[in-house]
């Protein structure tokens, strides 16, 4: 009986220490984080695009968290500065990702600001990056005989064009997804946490 009480007490103490270290302390550390200067809230279209991003599983292959230059070559890859907690104030849920099957998208809005590039790349990635393993998302587009006045026609390069006499038109979901990707612009400078605020 005595050993059972010790085992239960030891398990309780271990659980309390783990909860304090992995839940309570991180929460206390980041609960009052303010948005980084220069970070803007998402628009309605960008939020809809974020839902399309989640629904299509983009987070399974792309991260949104460049590492510090001392921890990896992310800066040398052109992915921008290391992320800080203030960069994610408007992200709920956070889409940090854990796999880098594809490049980090934290700053894709800076690296690739073109709407037409993104739309064409979503329709057929290999038309833009020959050895890409990213899946195509043709269901976010409609191939039709002619576009209506308010529709966005996507120009597809090379041998990936639709049959002669047809056009590729982006759906509202594709346009919203691209607006979200273009909003991933974290090129604004951030102060290190220990730095004093700038003087007016």
Task: Tell me: do 67 and 145 sit in the same domain.
Answer: yes
Task: Tell me: do 83 and 19 sit in the same domain.
Answer: no
- What contacts 24+ positions apart, CB below 8 Å, involve 26-35? 30/85, 33/85, 33/86, 33/89, 34/86, 34/89, 35/86, 35/89, 35/90
Angle at 17 (CA atoms; ends 11, 19), nearest 5 degrees:
100
Q: In the chain, how many domains are there?
A: 2
**Is residue 79 domain-resident?**
yes
Looking at residues 127-142, what average pLDDT do you find? 94
Looking at residues 68-73, what average pLDDT do you find? 83
Task: Tell me: do 73 and 126 sit in the same domain.
Answer: yes
**Per-residue pLDDT, 115:** 96
Looking at residues 81-91, what average pLDDT do you find? 90
Q: What is the extent of the structural domain holding 52?
A: 44-183
**Is residue 200 domain-resident?**
no
**Per-residue pLDDT, 99:** 87
Cα dihedral value 93, 59, 167, 111, nearest 10: 90
142, pLDDT greater than 60: yes
**Is residue 7 domain-resident?**
yes
Task: Tell me: do 10 and 103 sit in the same domain.
Answer: no
Task: Tell me: do 7 and 57 sit in the same domain.
Answer: no
Looking at residues 64-76, what average pLDDT do you find? 85
pTM for the structure as a whole: 0.81
Q: Which position has the token pair 């279209």?
A: 45
Task: Tell me: do 67 and 20 sit in the same domain.
Answer: no
Percent of the chain with pLDDT over 70: 94
Task: Tell me: do 74 and 154 sit in the same domain.
Answer: yes
199, pLDDT greater than 70: no
Task: Tell me which H or E stretch contains 144.
Answer: strand 141-144
Task: Tell me: do 26 and 108 sit in the same domain.
Answer: no
**Per-residue pLDDT, 104:** 94
**pLDDT tens-digit map of 16-59:** 999 888 887 877 766 678 888 889 999 999 999 999 999 999 99
Q: Which residues contact 120 (CB under 8 A, 6 or more apart)?
A: 127, 128, 154, 155, 156, 157
**pLDDT tens-digit map of 143-198:** 998 888 899 999 998 888 888 889 999 999 999 999 999 999 999 888 665 445 55
**Beta bridge partners of residue 167, listed in sequence order:** 144
Contact present, 61 and 99 (Cβ < 8 Å): yes
């Amino acid at each position: 009986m005595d050993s059972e009480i010790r085992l239960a007490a030891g398990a309780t103490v271990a659980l309390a220490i783990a909860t304090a270290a992995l839940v309570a302390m991180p929460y206390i550390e980041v609960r009052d984080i303010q948005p980084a200067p220069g970070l803007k809230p998402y628009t309605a279209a960008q939020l809809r695009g974020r839902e399309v991003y989640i629904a299509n599983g983009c987070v399974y292959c792309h991260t949104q968290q460049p590492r510090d230059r001392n921890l990896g070559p992310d800066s040398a890859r052109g992915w921008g500065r290391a992320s800080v907690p203030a960069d994610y104030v408007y992200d709920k849920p956070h889409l940090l990702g854990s796999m880098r099957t594809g490049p980090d998208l934290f700053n894709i809005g800076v690296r690739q600001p073109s709407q037409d590039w993104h739309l064409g790349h979503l329709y057929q990635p290999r038309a833009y990056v020959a050895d890409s393993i990213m899946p195509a998302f043709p269901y976010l587009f409609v191939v039709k005989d002619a576009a209506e006045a308010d529709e966005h026609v996507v120009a597809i390069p090379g041998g990936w064009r639709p049959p002669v006499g047809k056009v590729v038109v982006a759906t509202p979901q594709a346009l919203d997804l691209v607006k979200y990707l273009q909003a991933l612009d974290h090129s604004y400078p951030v102060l290190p946490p220990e730095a004093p605020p700038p003087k007016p």
